[in-house]
Structure 1
């Protein structure tokens, strides 16, 4: 069997550990990466993920990696190395433990931020994890509170409250300090903090307030008085949309709720369509209450302008309201950079293509630091291609492609290893195996 030999000999200790011997490779059957001394490539077993922390409670961020030689782990927050202390420590497996999460420390800084772990192997090669966004749970004051209103009997009432909570608050409603349940089909409680009451009756009158709660706190809004007027036979009334869909941006697999509540006499019929004429579909789509549209497990195809129409029965009289739904998708790789084995003086090209909504931006790291371009190192084709024209010993490293958009980040890595070159001793000549 015809055999060839691939070897790297170098006096640098970091290389002696990995390339202390030649590797016999059967022609055409093993990739360069597998021919590199049979050692395991540096890679992550666990990476940190986005998390919401609770003030004064412990927080654990995962990070675990393996590869050739001993692996050390360091953590960065917003690009700055995290200093360990009695409160903050790196566990044996590389995870970061903050024993008491602080919303505001003595140095007027919060533990919130973007965290990443950087792992280094015995050869000095560095690999950086994806960035994890750490936010502190909060339940701030209401941005808007329910307002008192007067509604004629048989009409429609709408009450709302709004606040920016982390994580999103669970909102319930009380009438005269008693919880409003979903048992009455005339009552529609939307998760976004909206209460709709159809065919209002005198028994619906009372004091209403919303209750918002999450892991951080519970808040009660001001009370609003719902008054119901009683009069003679209701007169004809053109359809009116009390509240139409708002522009909404979500991430794939989340749920979108587009509101549409209308009134009129006779009671208008609410329907939905897309401005582009495409079908809304039926899978994962349902109507809440008398006209609100809910789309579960949203995909990119659900993006578009939605039209709510309130039609007077038996006529062409209608009112419309429009809302834009944007469904974002975090980056995913279409093409990954591949590990390469090249001699000094040779060239190398790494290609990394990612897709997502919005279109991801791509940056490159070399051994965990932002790659600097020069006469020999260039980035082209919208940052998707990294080219090294004349390889030097300093170019041996792990190169990472970081794809990022407003929906998330992703990373892929490849290694450039040096092989036999003119400045290195040659391997034994090919031999016939007996």
Structure 2
């Protein structure tokens, strides 16, 4: 067997129905000492230099709780007295089984002892453009001893590599879309439960633009015909979704909603955002190129535009790779251009994806292609 003894850790709690911001007189306080070890550890409690044992003080109980993992020993101080405000030492020992030095931990209990509480600045979600610098501040509003602060992301995700953490202040320079999401500040001083507060960073962006036509011109039974209704739907994911706005163009000129050209948008709280152009009683003069333009209300982000050609002639998408371009050999660090030739009416949207060695495709991102 491997013998070891970790440093003991003292945590302090009050009864659930007695929790206050401070440990007032006539309150029951529990000091819990725990240490991982092999073989099992033996604990000794000191108040100042006085060894505490069961029965030595009517105001003190020492016991091992049920239903706990690992070795632990709890010191219960009933109805705090002035002499209970002192330095408490937990000594962990395995000397009965092996020759290892004892280890100890000290906690100073006072009338100022209190669990941590914190506040975040700013308090609201932070909305920024890519490339900006974001500063999040976690301020301690209460807690004795002074709490330790730690920033984290959800599900154990690492903080951005560029982030700089100085106590409770975290700075993220040159922020990217991957840096967006909730961040949590945790304050802990081993008194009561740790204090946690979260704040979200929203990095403005537009992505995954797509369109569809009703009736679907790619199916023979659903041809676009004069006199019928045609609906063009355009969908874009936006951050933040409430800033998303759409506009429509016909042959490069702004298009406004009318009795025959009805433009509608989904609720901005619904993501992804969708806009619809309903053409009632299609006429020959309605044929042309319609452009859906998505942008963010506060700017700072390039807009996304999607062209849709409406005509009686529809051609399903066809994709080809230029001769000699299907397999490229390059050296690490080289710049490489990937090209595909795409044709079809309406003009297809081109999406690039990376295929991993396992064969699973990575997340698709809108890319550039050449339309024939």
TM value normalised by structure 1: 0.37
Structure number with larger C-alpha Rg: 2
Higher RCO structure, 1 or 2 (CA under 8 Å, sep 6+):
1
TM value normalised by structure 2: 0.42
